[in-house]
Structure 1
Amino acid sequence: MTRKLFLATVLMLGITLVSCNTKPNDTSKSNDSTNTTVEQNNDSKSSSEAKDNKTNEDAKANKVKLSIYNIDENSLEPNESGTIELDAKLSIEDKLKALSKAVSEKKFDKLPIEIKSIDTVNGKKVATINLTDSSSSKWVPKFQGSTGGSVTSNTLIENFLQSNNKSKGEWIDGVKFLYNNQPIEYEHASDLSTVQYRN
């Protein structure tokens, strides 16, 4: 009887040991499947990131940068102070409108600058730009003084012609300015009274 009890106990211990040994193997199998899932997730993330990068590159390829220029008061030379990015598919007129808004906000205290027309003159595209003013005549002080008038003239001319910008895409060849729909006749802003062409 004691012998039977002893054999039964040994048998039970053997079964317990065998079942303990098989459980870790099952766990490693589930770990393998978890690792596979993680790897698949990482692969799909990499693929998704690559697609996002391609989309960003395509978006950049379809953009043009227009420069915003400051004019040095001593040399009267233009220096790029910023850029705006626009859809390359926009018409020249829409690009000019976006540029006029940026130049107005950043250089001329939000004074209105409107694009009147783009005409072909002697085979060249010339934009007519109107500097509008209410009865308060806020543009007038910007045309006065030898330095002030020159800085205003050069700021407007350089920003609209984009002469130093190589990445602007198709653009105008010349620009003509009006003040309240009339020719600009201020001594120190005389460059604004004639059509200015890109170099």
Structure 2
Amino acid sequence: MEKKISKLLLAFTFSAALTGCLHDTTTVDTTENIEGVSMPSVQTADLYAYTLDYDNMINVPIDGSKVEYSGDILTAMNNLATILSDQAFDGLEIDIVNIENVDDKKIVTINLQDGDKGSWYNYFQGSAGGLVTVRSLEETFLQRAYPGEWIDGVQFQYNGEPMPEFDHTVGLESVIYR
């Protein structure tokens, strides 16, 4: 009787293994690289649009302004421009014109364009308003807090022309370096 039970058990186990009825608890780590095959790593970082806390004179990230950066500078710059425009400048146009290499430095040209939503000129007026405008634009696009590879400088245009010198936006008329 014991022999019959052993044979039955052996037959059952064998047939279960053949038909796949037994549960396989083997796990495979698919995150490991296969030997000899290199996988490119995609690193991301969080970038922010900034404004100036005028009372404390420090740059602070604008709430909800996080942009994920994975190496595409133009995409990140356009996303930052949209957020900064919407949250700090009432939707006024901020256009990323181009990135140029000047003396082995990556310089981005950004156009501040008046439009249906109003004029940038209002943000260039007054000591406090001009300073907040300059620091918001400067820190958002230069990303000085980000330690990775980024642009080296930024230059601004106003309505497609070189930025004029205004009393309260000192610095915007020249290239600002990181």
Q: Given the two structures, how large is their TM-score scaled by the length of structure 1?
A: 0.65
Aligned partner letter, 1:83: K
Which ranges of structure 1 fall in alignment gaps of 5 or more residues? 1-17
What residue in structure 2 maps to residue 123 of structure 1? 104
Instruction: Compute the displacement of 1:179 (Å).
Output: 1.2
Structure 1 CA distance, aligned partners of 2:75 and 2:70?
Answer: 10
Any conservation in 2 of the 1:184–1:190 contact (CA below 8 Å)? Answer: no
Which ranges of structure 2 fall in alignment gaps of 5 or more residues? 34-38
Any conservation in 2 of the 1:71–1:155 contact (CA below 8 Å)? Answer: yes
Pairwise mapping of residues 108-187 of structure 1 onto structure 2 (< 5 A)?
108-134=89-115, 137-167=118-148, 169=149, 171-182=150-161, 183-187=163-167
Structure 2 CA distance, aligned partners of 1:135 and 1:80?
Answer: 27
Structure 1 CA distance, aligned partners of 2:69 and 2:134?
Answer: 25
SS at match of 1:134: coil
Q: 1:84 aligns with which of 62, 67, 74?
A: 67
Count of equivalent residues: 167
Aligned partner letter, 2:126: G
Q: 1:96 aligns with which of 77, 80, 84?
A: 77
Structure 1 CA distance, aligned partners of 2:140 and 2:102?
Answer: 21
Taking structure 1 as reference, are residues 52 and 180 closer, same or farther at Cα in structure 2, changes over 3 Å only?
same
Taking structure 1 as reference, are residues 76 and 191 closer, same or farther at Cα in structure 2, changes over 3 Å only?
farther
Structure 1 CA distance, aligned partners of 2:142 and 2:154?
Answer: 7
Taking structure 1 as reference, are residues 59 and 131 closer, same or farther at Cα in structure 2, changes over 3 Å only?
farther
Taking structure 1 as reference, are residues 114 and 162 closer, same or farther at Cα in structure 2, changes over 3 Å only?
same
Instruction: Compute the displacement of 1:155 (Å).
Output: 0.4
SS at match of 1:165: coil
Any conservation in 1 of the 2:44–2:68 contact (CA below 8 Å)? Answer: yes
Structure number with bigger Rg: 1
Taking structure 1 as reference, are residues 115 and 134 closer, same or farther at Cα in structure 2, changes over 3 Å only?
same
Structure 2 CA distance, aligned partners of 1:121 and 1:188?
Answer: 27
Percent of aligned pairs with the same residue? 31
Relative to its length, the structure with more helix (as a share) is: 1
Q: Given the two structures, how large is their TM-score scaled by the length of structure 2?
A: 0.71
Task: Output one character per residue of 1:69-126: Cα deviation in whole Å (capped at 9) or x when no partner.
Answer: 23211233212344211332x2x33332232223223332322111112223333222
Taking structure 1 as reference, are residues 72 and 117 closer, same or farther at Cα in structure 2, changes over 3 Å only?
same
